[in-house]
Structure formats: structure tokens, C-alpha cells
């Protein structure tokens, strides 16, 4: 992102209204540097960095004064600009999930923040203040489709309803049960798009004649006949929306493990586990509006497992970029620093995605994002130059990063672990 682009965004957002020794480009470089550090940066540290690397002398009070609502708007605008500029080449293969335009995977992560942020970032449950990051990406290309920061009290179902208009024709939407909404499924269907979701225990299921499905009889029938999985056309909820239901029967050992966990969970809440809930623990239940040709039953479970990648990403973001452990500071500075960390993540992930795209054509292997993100964090100076230097220099730096990531950064097969590589191969 060149100096001119940063200046224009600074003017558009009101962050910069007059000439200053602390220009938008220098200020952004300072933020980017702070985001790269494992530990939190004090104002004194940032002021010292400005003097050492840019020859700018400024006291910590004046620097603190630069963090305002307009500063937040500025970094949000930079993040939006970077997301719009993403490349959209296939990461793995042109044949991967070719039945759909996008495979949209979404999840959120929530964490507590200092109580002085409670007015605009109300908490959910155990704290006065909290922040939720909504993250959606396209499994086919790795593109960031949504990266939004909200108050923790805004739940996933609300997000599902408020962002339903973003879904386009022939998209496939994968989300966990926190986003479950029959109304949103109806909108998705109306947009000629598709969804794949687990079925919550509190949703009533009817057969095609409108009679409630008896899962007790179904479990007995499958057990007696040795049937591990089957599918049915059913109706769900009060609206009796027609969907395709995939029913997978789990082994007895898995059932007992689920039952113990559920009983413990309900006991903590002072309740007993309902009999219907106990019965449903015998099954993996998925619903979709995609037909068997577009989404065969054999691929439903493997495809849904890809949703776990979002939770792994959140784990990496927290461990490597400390998005959830900033110290107490005024709200504008706190939110600015979170958005800057997200900018660093977007830049790093896009570089890794570009390397993955090239390597998939040359080698056919898959990069380990965990290994790659570790390396990219250590290459902050190079990443900074890619983002801010001339195109010629950026190309040279990217070529060096490519050489590094193409060695010893492969995803490895592990025994007794869910195998991402084998799941990918099922769809190519």
C-alpha cells in the first residue's frame, strides 16, 4: 500500500486534516511494527521507535492524543482496502469443490477486554466488556469474506441474520449451530445458494407427511440392520422447511462419551438431560438443501470437518499475534491495535495463500499454516517492505519468502488425527 493510498484513506476518514511530522504513512508503519511484537507496546516504547527509526521526536502524551475514533476509522479503512484487493486464485486445485462458486466457512471468537470498553463493547456472560471477531473465508481460495469486530453481546445468530444478504447464488455456507436460523436458510434457498449445518437437538423434525420423526425407532432400525448412515427428505421447525437430512449413527463408545459430557454440562446448570437429547446423541445429524448429485452423502461429513480450520486459525491468531491479550488502555488505542493486528494477519495469510497456490501447481502438497505463520511473524521487516515498498522490491522479497516457505513447511500426516490432506483429496 503506497504512501499516496494511505494519505487518501487518512483524509477520507478524517484522520489527517493538515500536514504533520507524524504523517499517515509513518503512523501506520508504527502501528504495524507494534502489531508484530509478541508483547504489548507502551507509549514510551512507540515514541522511542519513532525517534530511532524516523527521527521524529514526540512525547507519549502527544502520541496518545493521536488515537481517536478517526484513527479507528483509518485502520478499518486500510483493512477494508486490503480485503478488497485480495487475489482469488484456487488454493489447491481447480477441481476442488467445483460444484460451488464459494464454500463459505464462518465462525467467531470472543474474548474479554478491559472494563473501560464496556460502553461500546458489552460482554457476554462472565465479563462487563468483551469483543467478538466474526471471520468468514472461502475454502476454495482462502479469501477473507468477512472480518468484523463487534461487541460480545451480539451473538452468532444475530450475525447470521444481519449478514444473510452477503450470500450469492451457488455459494455453499458452512457454519456451526450457533448461527442456526431457519429464516436464514430460507433466504439462502431463495438466493439459489446452499447450506450445510448440524441439526440442533431443540429443532423438531417431521417426515414428508408432517408426522414428527421418531428417532428412537430410527436408532433401533439402523442398529438392527447394521446401517451406519442414511438420508431422508424431512421438514424442520414450525415453518416445516423441506431439507435433506443426513443421519449417521455413532459407535456406542462415542455415544457414552457424549452422554457423560452432556450429563455433566446439564448438572452444572442444575438440570437433567432430556430423554430426546439423550436419543439424539446416538447420531451425527446434518441438514442441507443441496441434492445428492451436488453434495453426495459420502462427502457431507468430510466437508463439514473443514469448518474446524476456522477454530485452528483463531488459536494461531491468539498464540502468535496476541489479539486477545492487550493491556488496559483507552478505547480508541485498544481498538486501533486490534484492527492493526488483523491487518498483519490478512497480509501474512494472503502471502501464504499465494505461495500455496503456486506450490499446488508445482508440487501438489499442502502448506502447514501454523508453520508458515510462525515463519511469517519472524519476517516482519520483509512483510512490511512487501506492503509498503515499490513493486520491484516487493517481488524480490516475495521470491525469497517463497523459497523459505517451500522448504520444511509442509502439512504432515499424523496418526489418529483428523486428516486434512485426505479430506481435501476426496473433493478433487
Q: What is the pLDDT of residue 112?
A: 94
Buried residues in 248-259 as b, exposed as e (16+ CB within 10 A) = bbeeeeebeeee
Q: What is the pLDDT of residue 226?
A: 92
Q: What is the pLDDT of residue 354?
A: 87
Q: Write out residues in the chain with pLDDT < 70, as ranges.
A: 126, 364, 413-428
Q: What is the pLDDT of residue 369?
A: 86
The helix/strand/coil state of 318 is: helix
Sign of CA dihedral 12, 17, 18, 21: negative
Cell numbers found for residue 405:
516457505
**pTM beyond cutoff 0.85:** yes
Q: What is the pLDDT of residue 377?
A: 86
Contact predicate 341/321, CB 8 Å: yes
Per-domain boundaries in the chain = 177-303
Q: What is the pLDDT of residue 384?
A: 85
With DSSP H G I counted as helix, E B as strand and the rest as coil, what are the percentages for the chain, rounded to 5? Answer: 50, 15, 35
Q: What is the pLDDT of residue 109?
A: 95
Quickly list H helices, 17-132. Answer: 24-36, 43-54, 60-65, 69-84
Amino acid at each position: 500500500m503506497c504512501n499516496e493510498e494511505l494519505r487518501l484513506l487518512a483524509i477520507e476518514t478524517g484522520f489527517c486534516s493538515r500536514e504533520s511530522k507524524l504523517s499517515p504513512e509513518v503512523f501506520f508503519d508504527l502501528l504495524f511494527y507494534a502489531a508484530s511484537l509478541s508483547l504489548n507496546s507502551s507509549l514510551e516504547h512507540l515514541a522511542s521507535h519513532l525517534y530511532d527509526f524516523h527521527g521524529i521526536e514526540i512525547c507519549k502524551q502527544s502520541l496518545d492524543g493521536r488515537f481517536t475514533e478517526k484513527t479507528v476509522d483509518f485502520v478499518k479503512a486500510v483493512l477494508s482496502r486490503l480485503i478488497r484487493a485480495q487475489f482469488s486464485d484456487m488454493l489447491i486445485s481447480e477441481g476442488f469443490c467445483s460444484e460451488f462458486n464459494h464454500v463459505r466457512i464462518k465462525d467467531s471468537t470472543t474474548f474479554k477486554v478491559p472494563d473501560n470498553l464496556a460502553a461500546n463493547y458489552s460482554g457476554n456472560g462472565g465479563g462487563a466488556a468483551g469483543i467478538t471477531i466474526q471471520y468468514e473465508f472461502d475454502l476454495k481460495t482462502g479469501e477473507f469474506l468477512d472480518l468484523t469486530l463487534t461487541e460480545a453481546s451480539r451473538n452468532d445468530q444475530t450475525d447470521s441474520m444481519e449478514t444473510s444478504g452477503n450470500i450469492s447464488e451457488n455459494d455453499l455456507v458452512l457454519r456451526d449451530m450457533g448461527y442456526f436460523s431457519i429464516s436464514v436458510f430460507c433466504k439462502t434457498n431463495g438466493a439459489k445458494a446452499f447450506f450445510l449445518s448440524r441439526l440442533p437437538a431443540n429443532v423438531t423434525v417431521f417426515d414428508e407427511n408432517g408426522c414428527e420423526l421418531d428417532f428412537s425407532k430410527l436408532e433401533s432400525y439402523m442398529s438392527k440392520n447394521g446401517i451406519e448412515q442414511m438420508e431422508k427428505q424431512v421438514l424442520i421447525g414450525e415453518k416445516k422447511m423441506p431439507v435433506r437430512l443426513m443421519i449417521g449413527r455413532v459407535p456406542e463408545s462415542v455415544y457414552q462419551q457424549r452422554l457423560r459430557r452432556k450429563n455433566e454440562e446439564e448438572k452444572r446448570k442444575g438440570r437433567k438431560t432430556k430423554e430426546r437429547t439423550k436419543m439424539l446423541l446416538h447420531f451425527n445429524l446434518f441438514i442441507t438443501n443441496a441434492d445428492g448429485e451436488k453434495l453426495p452423502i459420502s462427502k457431507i461429513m468430510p466437508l463439514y470437518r473443514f469448518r474446524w480450520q476456522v477454530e485452528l486459525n483463531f488459536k494461531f491468531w491468539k498464540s502468535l499475534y496476541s489479539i486477545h491479550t492487550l493491556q488496559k488502555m483507552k478505547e480508541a488505542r485498544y481498538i486501533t491495535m486490534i484492527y492493526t493486528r488483523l491487518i498483519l494477519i490478512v497480509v501474512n495469510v494472503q502471502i501464504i495463500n499465494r505461495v500455496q497456490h503456486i506450490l499446488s501447481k508445482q508440487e501438489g502438497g499442502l502448506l502447514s499454516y501454523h508453520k508458515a505463520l510462525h515463519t511469517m511473524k519472524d519476517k516482519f521487516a520483509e512483510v512490511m517492505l512487501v506492503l509498503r515498498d515499490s513493486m520491484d522490491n516487493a517481488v524480490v522479497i516475495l521470491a525469497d519468502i517463497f523459497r523459505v516457505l517451500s522448504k520444511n513447511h509442509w502439512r504432515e500426516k499424523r496418526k489418529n488425527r483428523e486428516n486434512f490432506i485426505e479430506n481435501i483429496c476426496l473433493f478433487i
